[in-house]
């Protein structure tokens, strides 16, 4: 009897999940899932296209329109979701290993996700019993009462990226289920394995067939089919800004509701009075963690002139000390990039930066010696002599690359920090409360971290300003993204 992990990583042909059943693509097409640390084949997955998406949407539609999910009492939905949370908790070590094999992140990082992933599952389970409308006083002559009820938006098409696979699944599906929606989720083609397992766990927890369907395949086919399908009421997307724009255009035909959690180029500001023992590792990992494959990575690092030289040398020493390797090695702090495509994107930016006149202070070339040769490894990379107008300071690189810029003027640095089309995250390091609050108020970003960076919690909303997207995920407001408001007028005698 193979263990759970072995089932997913022995090079076998896996099925996706539609209407409670394991199914292959109608076309019979498959694609390969590779381990980015070694290039080894993990599994073959169904390459879904419009025909498969149609079956999955019909199944979600039936489950929504006919029940029992949408007609179940909140308490009963909650019980299923809590059982799911227990299953995730019991199997979290294996889920962590599976995601590490699939997309490369260090096992330590994946393990540390436990509190958040199980916490999210329980947080959304809690929200099922917290839905409420309001009674409203109106001024209509006569006897009219008015109140609102909240109803699930319907069938949700969830499209997620690969940078934190099992978290992305629970984040999207959890909120949709809490609202009473049904779901077709398309994980990223680079990392779909844990989604298939989590889909099974939902069934095991008692979720009725068809409530969550997992469709594997490419964005341009499976993903795009979801965005135009008339049976889908809402798209919840996390990924690149370009794909987010394509989704908004595609969704216009049916006027689907859309929420978008997109890219970033987040500013991180270190003042002279900052506690450098905190700020140096904090700012380094703000950019390097998960090999920089984090939407809110603090990749534009502004350091005040007085500490700039000391800061850059301390951060360089810190970068040097980071252990880059196979994510399954216990000591690994930075794993490989997720794919050959991502490797090419990131190494192209090394060249772009050089050509624009930035200096590669540390890193800046693919790692190819020994075991590195078979995987997609790059070192943490520090650019100095960067101007905020350069492409390396404007565009999302999604690799462990930070651009460090010196500043003198406090107003000017806040203007520069905001001089970006993105507005996802931001950081400030100072021991001066006034500077900290001024920065918090000035930054046009969905999250600001003060003397820390990157913390996330199920109860704290997360999302972007401007081209980093719209809508908030996490927090009690997340469920609003999956609810309609119905106003009810009642005339009484
Ligand atoms: P992507 O945005 O193309 O892919 C994310 C998800 O969208 C995947 O599931 C993909 O299959 C799907 N998708 C792609 N095209 C689609 C379409 N036309 N319609 C519907 N779904 C579609 O991102 P990708 O290609 O994986 O990475 C490219 C860059 O995007 C990265 O280098 C990074 O800069 C950024 N990115 C940002 C993320 C974030 O969390 N903000 C996550 C992943 C990527
Ligand atoms: Mg893509």
Give per-residue pLDDT as tens, 13-42: 999 999 999 999 999 999 999 999 999 999
Residues 232 and 299 in one domain: no
Shared domain check, 170 and 98: yes
Do 170 and 248 lie in one domain? The reply is yes
Residue 2: what pLDDT? 66
Q: Is there a single domain that holds both residue 91 and residue 196?
A: yes
Which atom of ligand 1 sits closest to the CA of residue 247?
19
Task: Give residue 15's Cα distance to chain centre.
Answer: 24
Which pLDDT does position 161 carry in this prediction? 98
CB within 8 A of 112, min separation 6: which ones?
none
Residue 462 lies in a domain: no
Strands 257-261 and 234-238: parallel
**Are residues 438 and 476 located together in one domain of the fold?**
no
Q: Does the pLDDT value for residue 1 go beyond 80?
A: no
The residues that are catalytic are 261, 295
Ligand 1 atom showing the smallest separation from residue 190 Cα: 26
Share of the chain above pLDDT 90, in %: 97
Overall number of domains in the chain:
2
Residues 336 and 188 in one domain: no
Q: How far apart are CA 262 and CA 470, in angstroms?
A: 9
Pick the closest to residue 51 from 76, 26, 68, 73 (CA basis): 26
Query: At which residue do the structure tokens 């100095």 appear?
Result: 384
Q: What is the mean pLDDT of residues 398-424?
A: 98
- The residue whose CA has the least distance to atom 28 of ligand 1 is 240
Per-residue pLDDT tens digits for 320-364:
999 999 999 999 999 999 999 999 999 999 999 999 999 999 999
**pLDDT at residue 126 in the model:** 98
Residue nearest to atom 36 of ligand 1 (CA): 240
The model's confidence at residue 388, banded by pLDDT at 50, 70 and 90, is very high
Residues 54-60 have a mean pLDDT of: 98
- Please choose from 191, 222, 223, 240 the residue to mutate so as to test ligand 1's pocket, defined by most ligand atoms within 8 A of CB: 240
Is the same domain home to 11 and 147?
yes
Query: What is the pLDDT of the chain when averaged over all its residues?
Result: 97
Band of residue 493 on the pLDDT scale cut at 50, 70, 90: confident
Residues 235 and 279 in one domain: no
Answer whether 237's CB lies under 8 Å from 244's CB.
Answer: yes
127, 481 Cβ separation under 8 angstroms: no
Contact 269, 413 (CB under 8 A): yes
β-bridge partners, 124: none
**What mean pLDDT do residues 297-310 have?**
98
pLDDT above 70 as % of the chain: 100
Ligand 1 closest atom vs CA 217? 11
Pocket of ligand 1 (CB under 6 A): 159-161, 163, 186, 188-189, 218-220, 223-224, 227, 238-240, 243, 246-247, 262-263, 295, 342, 345, 396, 398
Whole-number Cα distances in Å, 459 to 92, 175, 235, 354, 475: 20, 12, 22, 42, 4
Q: Is residue 386 part of a domain?
A: yes
Task: Please name which ligand lies nearest the alpha carbon of 31.
Answer: 1
CA distance 420 to 399: 18
Report yes or no on 175 lying in a domain.
yes
Residue 414 belongs to domain with CATH number: 3.40.309.10
Question: Is the pLDDT reported for residue 71 higher than 90?
Answer: no
Same domain, 475 and 452: no
Q: Rounded distance, CA 384 to CA 346, Å?
A: 17
Rounded to the nearest angstrom, the distance between the alpha carbon of 291 and the centre of ligand 1 is 17
* pLDDT band at residue 70 under the 50/70/90 scheme: confident
Give the Å distance between the CA of 243 and the centre of ligand 1: 6
How far is ligand 2, taken at its centre, from the CA of residue 490, in Å? 50
Read off the pLDDT of residues 96-146 as tens digits, 9 standing for 90 and up.
999 999 999 999 999 999 999 999 999 999 999 999 999 999 999 999 999
Is the pLDDT at 248 greater than 70? The verdict is yes
| Of 195, 193, 188, residue with least CA distance to 219 | 188
398: containing domain: 267-457
> Which residue CA neighbors atom 14 of ligand 1 most closely?
219
DSSP character for 459?
T
CATH number of the domain enclosing 246: 3.40.605.10
* pLDDT confidence bin for 3, thresholds 50/70/90: confident
| Number of the ligand closest to the Cα of 266 | 1
Q: Helix and strand tally (H, E) in the chain?
A: 16, 20
CA angle 65, 69, 70 (to 5 degrees): 55
Atom 12 of ligand 1: nearest residue by CA position: 219
pLDDT of residue 205: 98
Distance from the alpha carbon of residue 240 to the mean position of ligand 2, in angstroms? 8
Look at residue 88 and tell me if it is in a domain: yes
- Here the tokens at position 250 are 């595609």
194 pLDDT above the threshold of 80: yes
Is the pLDDT at 11 greater than 90? The verdict is no
Which of 152, 155, 175, 157 has its CA nearest to residue 215? Answer: 157
Rama region for 465: left / alpha / beta (φ>0; ψ in -120 to 50; rest): beta
User: Per the domain annotation, does 493 fall within a domain?
Assistant: no
Task: Please check whether residues 17 and 47 belong to one and the same domain.
Answer: yes
Based on the domain organization, do 200 and 154 belong to the same domain?
yes
Q: Are residues 27 and 173 in the same domain?
A: yes
């Amino acid at each position: 009897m193979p263990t759970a992990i072995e089932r997913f990583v022995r090079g076998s042909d896996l099925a996706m999940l539609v209407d409670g059943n394991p199914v292959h693509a109608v076309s019979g097409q498959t694609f390969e899932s590779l381990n980015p640390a070694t290039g080894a084949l993990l599994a073959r997955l169904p390459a879904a296209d419009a025909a498969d998406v149609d079956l999955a949407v019909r199944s979600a539609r039936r489950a929504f329109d006919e029940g029992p999910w949408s007609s179940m009492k909140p308490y009963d939905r909650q019980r299923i979701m809590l059982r799911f949370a227990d299953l995730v908790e019991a199997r979290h070590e294996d889920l962590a290993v599976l995601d590490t094999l699939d997309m490369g992140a260090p096992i330590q990082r994946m393990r540390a996700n436990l509190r958040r992933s199980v916490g999210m599952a329980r947080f959304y389970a809690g929200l099922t019993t917290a839905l409420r409308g309001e009674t409203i006083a109106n001024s209509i002559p006569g006897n009219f009462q008015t109140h609102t009820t909240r109803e699930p938006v319907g069938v949700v098409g969830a499209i997620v990226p690969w940078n934190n696979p099992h978290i992305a699944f629970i984040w999207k599906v959890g909120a949709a289920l809490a609202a009473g929606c049904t779901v077709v989720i398309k994980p990223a083609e680079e990392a779909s394995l844990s989604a298939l397992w989590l889909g099974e766990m939902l069934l095991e927890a008692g979720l009725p067939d068809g409530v969550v369907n997992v469709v594997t395949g490419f964005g341009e086919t499976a993903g795009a089919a979801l965005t135009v399908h008339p049976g889908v009421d809402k798209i919840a997307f996390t990924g690149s800004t370009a794909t987010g724009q394509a989704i908004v255009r595609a969704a216009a035909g049916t006027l689907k509701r859309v929420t978008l959690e997109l890219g970033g180029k987040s500013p991180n500001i270190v003042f002279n009075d900052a506690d450098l023992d905190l700020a140096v590792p904090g700012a380094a990992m703000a950019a390097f963690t998960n090999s920089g494959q984090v939407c809110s990575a603090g990749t534009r690092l502004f350091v005040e002139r007085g500490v700039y030289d000391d800061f850059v040398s301390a951060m360089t020493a810190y970068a040097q000390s980071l252990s880059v390797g196979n994510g399954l090695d216990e000591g690994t702090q930075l794993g490989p990039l997720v794919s050959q495509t991502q490797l090419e994107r990131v190494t192209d930016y090394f060249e772009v930066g050089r050509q624009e006149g930035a200096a590669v202070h540390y890193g800046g070339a693919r790692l190819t010696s020994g075991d590195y040769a078979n995987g997609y490894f790059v070192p943490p990379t520090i650019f100095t002599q960067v101007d905020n107008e350069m492409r390396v300071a404007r565009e999302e690189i999604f690799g462990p690359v930070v651009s460090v810029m010196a500043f003198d003027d406090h107003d000017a640095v806040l203007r520069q920090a905001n001089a970006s089309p993105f507005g996802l995250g931001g950081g400030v390091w100072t021991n001066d409360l006034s500077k900290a609050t001024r920065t918090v108020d000035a930054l046009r970003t969905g999250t600001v971290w003060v003397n820390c960076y990157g913390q996330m919690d199920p109860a704290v909303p997360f999302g972007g300003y401007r081209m980093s997207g719209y809508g908030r995920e996490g927090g009690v407001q997340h469920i609003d993204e999956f609810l309609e408001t119905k106003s009810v007028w009642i005339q009484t005698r």
